[in-house]
Amino acid sequence: MEPVYRGLGRCVCCFWLAVAFDIVGLVVLLIGVFVNVFFYDLLIYAGAIVIFLSLIWWVFWYSGNIEVPPAELEDDVGLLKKDKGGLSAIGGAVRRLSSRVSSGIRNSFRRNGAPSGHRGRAQRSAAGPPGAPQEGQVVVAMATMAPQENTPHAAVSSVAGCDIETLHAETSPRPV
């Protein structure tokens, strides 16, 4: 048998905390308004804050006293009714269909909606190994050179619409 609550209902502790916060906040606020002290503004603000915090206890007390019949809770918490066999089978089919559709949508966003800086696996494998030149890229090879006695002269050539300066050094063969 379910206990019967009268008067304050369930969550009596939250009710009395809310009342205590209201009384303390009101007393502190009124002291700040009517008593001649140099920190009256602190008392006014503190009283208002304590009264505001009492709202938390009032919400706890109110939400703790909401009564919902168990018949209405069955669908919300996943308890299926046993006596309606046909409807539960339909509900299971609808749930499976819903999960398939939502996972398909989620996966399509993962494949197609990746930011421009992140490429998917399919794009990465089609592009070749990392570091391989892609279409529209120019490969430039650089090498370090030891300083030579002769001064080099520069030649400018145009490749793909860009001017590239190459250094040609006239050197004599090195002794081995």
The pLDDT confidence band at residue 88, using thresholds 50, 70 and 90, is low
In 3D space, the residue among 17, 3, 22, 21 whose CA is nearest the CA of residue 61 turns out to be 17
Q: Write out pLDDT tens, residues 5-23.
A: 778 888 899 999 999 999 9
Q: Write out pLDDT tens, residues 90-121.
A: 777 888 888 888 888 888 877 776 555 455 55
Which CA distances in Å does 151 have to 92, 144, 155, 157, 167?
84, 16, 13, 20, 10
Higher pLDDT, 117 or 60: 60
**pLDDT for the residue 168:** 56
Q: Average pLDDT, stretch 27-46?
A: 97
Higher pLDDT, 118 or 71: 71
pTM of the complete model: 0.43
Given a contact cutoff of 8 angstroms between Cβ atoms, the answer to whether 120 and 141 are in contact is no
The pLDDT confidence band at residue 84, using thresholds 50, 70 and 90, is low
In 3D space, the residue among 138, 136, 110 whose CA is nearest the CA of residue 123 turns out to be 110
- Residue 150, pLDDT > 80, answer no
**pLDDT for the residue 162:** 60
